[in-house]
Structure 1
């Protein structure tokens, strides 16, 4: 028996049948403020009668148990999962896919833009190296050391392996059904979404979320000079396709991708204006600007954030400042290894 969830209980364990043959399963994220990650089970696609799974979840016992219970409610079991299409490389999406492949032989798919990030995870034996470097360039050297000391075990080498197939902009065909792969860099360089045109469904991963804005450029690889610019371009790309029902990785299913994209673009326009105002008329590093902004929907002061969230806040401030530079609203100069920004006259 499947249960249809209300909008306020999206993280409750169980199964939500979005439409016949498409099931949303929230898997727990221990010690994570997001509470859960949605994976989606698609029936009737694989020629072998197996399930196609969108995203894998985080490889922790709680997630494995919740997935097994959800499958049992559908009259299925783990062995029925034949293909796992992952939206991006973050551990709450990728690591259980790797675990299930080892256990079941499922085929794992990942966007080709994640290749360098995966290589660096194995080379550097850590997922925070790039973010810590950005912190230091932002003038937040002490925070970088605090984060490094507080979160030494975020990376476990056994959790990551290469996928069976790297994906570009292409169409995957499963029997008589198709899923369009759309690269959407920004949250990570290799993030992809999966569009089911026939059923009007977009499996959006962390690219378009219904209640929060995703972090930008949080990955092992250098996110590029302007990850927010890439993200905004990827958001606008969504409006070039017919509107679709939004099936996100975090939060409830909603009826319109285009509506939420417009809200996210407006949010970042407002955030760019606030960042420019916080920069003021002086010359400041991104750490100083970040401390002058409020954070999250609750308008939390910078000092009220955890060390990890302060890192994300500084890195996102860098991303917004770099878009202001790109748009000619500010300039940047490097002094002593720290980038300092000035409002354009």
Structure 2
């Protein structure tokens, strides 16, 4: 039977559990299609609503949020608390915009503070990535991205104001009559958090943001305050989630899935396979992340690097570089800086 793997992005409200509803909000011109936000409604139906993630602060998203909330007899002004998994615009910016319009409180992981500061300092959010591309042996791609950034309109600074509350690991929250516990899950971004629903008497759920996605492998370290080691942090975070009891997966992109464990196992296996493939490329004499990325296949469609548009080529090269960092930490390759700033990789001595 053929199923539509994008059915989850249709503009329809889905009730996940009593008092928990999934609202897909649009991401125009984005391959992700939509971002899920989850509205938590108090058991008596008479109280403040909580939104897990906020969406992108654009008119089409705000209008769809209003329409979908109407399906449960609510409106955006009824949301008084926003619990945001990470700082990316499709998760954070609309929460801040709605706070500005209606009040309420926004909470975000404490590890996102530096990225917010950089965005407000007119960092495009990709400056570190352009430098990383140059070091990875992709100067032409870096120049293409730099030109694109110079032509792009900077993000509205007011949509990246600080939250009202910085969240920390293990913090317990009362949200919509439910008990949520914050778990720090760095990797996708340094300050990414997930929310574990530990409400007594109901099935346990994980509001996973972009940490665990059912259809795609999350990008790693894609943030203004990017630092080395993002993939190591991500793999450690995945293992920590896998060590907890299994739960219903409520992702930011894609359909609700029955098992966090099953998807985490797939993601860990994917990265192990990628590490082996990349190590094999170095053994064959490929010397930069860009060269290795060109030898790999990407996405479910098994595309070559040159068949992808520049933004996704950038993600592919940077993901390759992140895997090379892990391989170097494991002693499987050696990374050396050259005089022109390029990082060259070679087989580690036996």
TM surpasses 0.5? yes
Which whole-Å CA distance do the structure 2 matches of 1:88 and 1:45 have between them?
Answer: 27
Confirm or deny that 1:226 pairs with 2:229: yes
| Offset from partner CA, 1:149-196 (integer Å, 9 cap, x none) | 124426312331100111111111247531100000000000000000
On the 8 A contact 2:25/2:37 being kept in 1, the answer is: yes
Match of 2:273? 270
Which whole-Å CA distance do the structure 1 matches of 2:266 and 2:193 have between them?
Answer: 20
| Offset from partner CA, 1:114-159 (integer Å, 9 cap, x none) | 0111111122431111111111111111111101212442631233
Q: Secondary structure at the match of 1:291?
A: helix
**Which aligned segments of 4 or more residues in structure 1 are displaced greater than 4 angstroms?**
5-8, 45-48
Which whole-Å CA distance do the structure 1 matches of 2:176 and 2:22 have between them?
Answer: 21
Unpaired stretches in structure 2, ≥5 consecutive residues: none
Confirm or deny that 1:243 pairs with 2:246: yes
Which whole-Å CA distance do the structure 1 matches of 2:282 and 2:43 have between them?
Answer: 52
On the 8 A contact 1:58/1:94 being kept in 2, the answer is: yes
Which whole-Å CA distance do the structure 2 matches of 1:182 and 1:253 have between them?
Answer: 19
Which whole-Å CA distance do the structure 2 matches of 1:175 and 1:77 have between them?
Answer: 15
Match of 1:159? 159
On the 8 A contact 1:184/1:207 being kept in 2, the answer is: yes
On the 8 A contact 2:194/2:211 being kept in 1, the answer is: yes
Confirm or deny that 1:62 pairs with 2:60: yes
Which whole-Å CA distance do the structure 2 matches of 1:266 and 1:175 have between them?
Answer: 36
Match of 1:291? 294
Match of 2:186? 185
Q: Secondary structure at the match of 1:239?
A: helix
Which whole-Å CA distance do the structure 1 matches of 2:158 and 2:222 have between them?
Answer: 20
On the 8 A contact 2:286/2:292 being kept in 1, the answer is: no
Which whole-Å CA distance do the structure 1 matches of 2:14 and 2:84 have between them?
Answer: 20
| Offset from partner CA, 1:84-128 (integer Å, 9 cap, x none) | 000000011011011101001120000000011111112243111
Aligned length: 340
Q: Secondary structure at the match of 2:115?
A: helix
Which whole-Å CA distance do the structure 1 matches of 2:94 and 2:6 have between them?
Answer: 26
Please show how residues 111-190 of structure 1 align to structure 2 within 5 Å: 111-151=109-149, 152-153=151-152, 155-156=154-155, 157-169=157-169, 170-174=171-175, 177-190=178-191
On the 8 A contact 1:203/1:248 being kept in 2, the answer is: yes
Q: Secondary structure at the match of 1:159?
A: helix
Unpaired stretches in structure 1, ≥5 consecutive residues: none
The 1:111–1:69 alpha-carbon spacing in structure 2 relative to 1, beyond 3 Å, is: same
The 1:144–1:10 alpha-carbon spacing in structure 2 relative to 1, beyond 3 Å, is: same
Please show how residues 206-217 of structure 1 align to structure 2 within 5 Å: 206-217=210-221
TM-score, normalized by length of structure 1?
A: 0.95
The 1:47–1:262 alpha-carbon spacing in structure 2 relative to 1, beyond 3 Å, is: same
Q: Secondary structure at the match of 1:173?
A: strand
Match of 1:328? 331
Range with greater deviation from structure 2 (49-58 or 141-150): 141-150
Q: Secondary structure at the match of 1:116?
A: helix
On the 8 A contact 1:27/1:39 being kept in 2, the answer is: yes
CA deviation after TM superposition for structure 1 residue 297, in Å:
1.2
Please show how residues 93-104 of structure 1 align to structure 2 within 5 Å: 93-104=91-102
Query: Over aligned residue pairs, what C-alpha RMSD do you find?
Result: 1.8
Which whole-Å CA distance do the structure 2 matches of 1:109 and 1:237 have between them?
Answer: 22
Q: Which residue of the other structure, out of 107, 110, 117, is the alignment partner of 1:109?
A: 107
On the 8 A contact 2:48/2:176 being kept in 1, the answer is: no
On the 8 A contact 2:40/2:176 being kept in 1, the answer is: no
